[in-house]
């Protein structure tokens, strides 16, 4: 840890992932598919747990409405 203005400062990493419903070259898949989200977010959460990392997730309203189980896992 390094000292920063009289306080201990923990290192931080900021990552962003654009995870929305799946999109193909002709437009959004209808009905909506969240296959990318369903596959990748659990893997990210597993790694975060493994290393004791906390995070903040910002999700689109569409994901919040359609993937309540995933939102609960993130919480």
- Report field, pTM of the whole predicted structure over 0.75: no
Q: What is the pLDDT of residues 22-48, one digit of tens each?
A: 666 666 666 667 777 888 889 989 999
Distance from chain centroid for Cα 1: 26
Residue that is written with structure tokens 């990493």 in the block? 13
Q: Most confidently modeled of 14-18, 46-50, 62-66? A: 46-50
CA distance 10 to 3: 9
Residue 65, C-beta contacts closer than 8 angstroms, at least 6 positions apart: none
């Amino acid at each position: 840890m390094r000292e920063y203005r009289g306080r201990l400062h923990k290192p931080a990493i900021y990552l962003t992932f654009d995870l929305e419903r799946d999109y193909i070259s002709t437009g959004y898949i209808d009905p909506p598919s969240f296959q990318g989200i369903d596959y990748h977010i659990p893997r990210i959460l597993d790694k975060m747990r493994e290393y004791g990392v906390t995070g903040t997730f910002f999700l689109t309203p569409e994901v919040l409405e359609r993937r309540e189980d995933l939102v609960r896992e993130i919480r």
